[in-house]
Structure 1
Amino acid sequence: MTFDVDTLIERNPSPRASFALAREMMVERGDKSDWDLLHDLHYKAEALPFGPRFWRLRLFDETIGVIVTGSPKGMLRERHLVFPKLAPGAGETKLTNTNRYLYINQNFRVISRFVVDTMYRGIGVGYRMMNLVSRMEGNTFMEIQSSMSKFNLFGQKAGFRFVEPMNANKFDAGMKFFRSHFEASPQDYLAIVGEIEGKSPAAAAKLVQACKDFYLRNSALENTGANRERGAARVAAMSTVEVIKGIQQMSLASPMYGVWKCPDPKGSVPDRLPILQFDRQGPNERLKLDAPQ
């Protein structure tokens, strides 16, 4: 017995992989317990930004991603490149400074912490969540400062535009300090701490104090805003590891600055959206909430 069998072969010229469980993922408001659940997967797990808000990515009843947004910095040189009218200039007064801060706080937020469970990385949920949270925050501009944006284009895929990376403000001063006090590479805090611990107690204490003095003198974090009143006490209480990391952050960090402008009218975006809502319009287009689910 013979059979006539027709074999049909189709070729998709533009195949696109999909992750079936993405249909069940929702972006919504969260709380600090969501951050506590996943924060150990983030390299900056120690502290949260000022004025944090929490957003989570849920798969059924499980939190698999968290974004923490915070209040923006009042002064940021990379922002001044993008928004030159916000840069300080001659003739500044207390009134103009106050109004600048009011405008920034009313119109800007910053993505401060962002972590996805390792089980769900590499499937495209990161940039989708980043875009949707930026809309759901309800501000005109969302900022991000991220060193990882040099290597992973999640911000660019989310619609953010970036300025050229720049050296830290205190790069030259930091390099001079490290090279004049340590043999170890400035990037290797473990080697620097080991070098300190290898000295006599008196020499180690003197070197740690020199580090604290340098950090306090040069750190914008300790010399602006509310920290000015207690900066000396905060720095005095720092451990050796904390002060070395502080100097490194101040002098070696060169995160890329990105900004995204929300195309949606304020108050028009729900505070709960499916992750695949991102795919129903361009990253810089208004939400198409009437699209089929």
Structure 2
Amino acid sequence: MFLDTETIIERNDNPEPVFSLARDMWVERGTKADWDLLHDLHYKAEKLPIGPRFWRLELYGETIGVLVTGAPKGMLRERHIVFPNLKPGAGETKLTNTNRYNYINANFRVISRFVIDTMYRGIGAGYRMMNLVSRMEGNTFMEIQSSMSKFNVFGQKAGFRFVKPMNANKYEQVMRFFRSHFNASPQDFEAIVAEVEAKSPEEQQRIRDLCVDFYMRNSALENTSNGGAAMERRAAQMTLRDAIKGIQQIGLASPMYGIWKCPDPKGTVPDRLPLLAFDNQGPNERLKL
């Protein structure tokens, strides 16, 4: 015997797409082994930042995303625009410089490397993880310098606010250097290398030494690192490709600078969070568990 049944059909006027597996994704502390697993998918796979900390996106025990944070730079032009009181000025002393660096190290971290497995891109995992890790780090400010932020708004979706893009400090010097010594376009790395490799071994060595010298004199990273024998050793180990890549980086790169301020009191955010915890509040609001 069949009973009468009532069929109810509901219509959501504002449907939101949901990737069902996202409910089972978790953000937690990771290790360098997680980075080693996925780092080949990142365009800066060679080096890690100073003081790296690893975070992973986990699904059923497998690592499907890795975010690496690092220690912030002591001097950063774009940061000085946002925080003018941190900008050095006249009358600086060793004490004021030391206190500035101590303050920056205590209150800032920077998102240095971030990669999601290709199987899980385009589902909103990136900006959600970025926001949650920024909370879990426990610092007041999280920075990011990313060229991709010009084309992909994952940082903006995570709640970061960005400074207007600017040319690198050494843009003019680098352009003059490349145009004085190479026929290839300054932006075309492989064409420059090929142009040099077509020359005699003696000329290749001369140009390599020229490029290394220019890089060492103009790199802010090298000039704020330990000099002396260590700097000479790094210069001796540089290849032509290393030197050209370094010169392009200091003169042609123009990553966008973004900053995010944590709304959560320090020590209140767990070390492990479901990815969809991002959706419980706005990206700049206090976490609701």
Q: TM-score range by the shorter chain?
A: over 0.9
* Deviation at residue 147 of structure 1 after TM alignment: 0.2
- Give the structure 1 partner of residue 39 of structure 2: 39
* Deviation at residue 11 of structure 1 after TM alignment: 4.2
CA contact (8 A) 1:216 1:232 kept: no
- Provide the rounded CA distance (Å) in 1 between the counterparts of 2:219 and 2:235: 10
Unaligned runs of 5+ in 1: 1-5
- Provide the rounded CA distance (Å) in 1 between the counterparts of 2:54 and 2:185: 37
- Give the letter aligned to residue 161 of structure 1: R
Q: 1:172 to 1:258 in 2, by over 3 A?
A: same
- Give the letter aligned to residue 119 of structure 1: M
Q: Report Cα offsets for 1:194-227 as digits up to 9, x if no partner.
A: 1101011111111111111111110111110335
- Give the structure 1 partner of residue 269 of structure 2: 269
CA contact (8 A) 1:49 1:112 kept: yes
- Give the structure 2 partner of residue 188 of structure 1: 188
- Provide the rounded CA distance (Å) in 1 between the counterparts of 2:229 and 2:73: 18
Please give the root-mean-square deviation of Cα atoms over the aligned residues, in Å: 1.6
- Give the structure 2 partner of residue 12 of structure 1: 12
Report % sequence identity: 74
* Deviation at residue 229 of structure 1 after TM alignment: 5.4
- Give the letter aligned to residue 243 of structure 2: V
- Provide the rounded CA distance (Å) in 2 between the counterparts of 1:167 and 1:246: 16
- Give the structure 2 partner of residue 3 of structure 1: none
Q: 1:229 to 1:163 in 2, by over 3 A?
A: farther
- Give the structure 2 partner of residue 280 of structure 1: 280
CA contact (8 A) 1:50 1:70 kept: yes
For 1:139-158, what aligned pairs fall within 5 Å after superposition? 139-158=139-158
Query: TM-score, structure 1 length as denominator?
Result: 0.95
For 1:100-179, what aligned pairs fall within 5 Å after superposition? 100-179=100-179
* Deviation at residue 150 of structure 1 after TM alignment: 0.3
SS in 1 for 2:269: coil
SS in 2 for 1:57: strand
For 1:200-219, what aligned pairs fall within 5 Å after superposition? 200-219=200-219
CA contact (8 A) 1:222 1:228 kept: no
- Provide the rounded CA distance (Å) in 2 between the counterparts of 1:36 and 1:226: 28
- Give the letter aligned to residue 74 of structure 1: G
Query: TM-score, structure 2 length as denominator?
Result: 0.96
- Provide the rounded CA distance (Å) in 2 between the counterparts of 1:106 and 1:216: 29
- Give the letter aligned to residue 42 of structure 1: H
- Of 185-194 and 8-17, deviating more is 8-17
* Deviation at residue 13 of structure 1 after TM alignment: 2.4
- Of 7-16 and 271-280, deviating more is 7-16
- Provide the rounded CA distance (Å) in 1 between the counterparts of 2:33 and 2:227: 27
- Of 96-105 and 208-217, deviating more is 208-217
- Provide the rounded CA distance (Å) in 2 between the counterparts of 1:268 and 1:227: 41
* Deviation at residue 10 of structure 1 after TM alignment: 5.1
- Give the structure 2 partner of residue 245 of structure 1: 245
* Deviation at residue 257 of structure 1 after TM alignment: 0.2
* Deviation at residue 9 of structure 1 after TM alignment: 6.5
Unaligned runs of 5+ in 2: 1-5
Q: 1:156 to 1:229 in 2, by over 3 A?
A: farther
Q: 1:9 to 1:270 in 2, by over 3 A?
A: closer
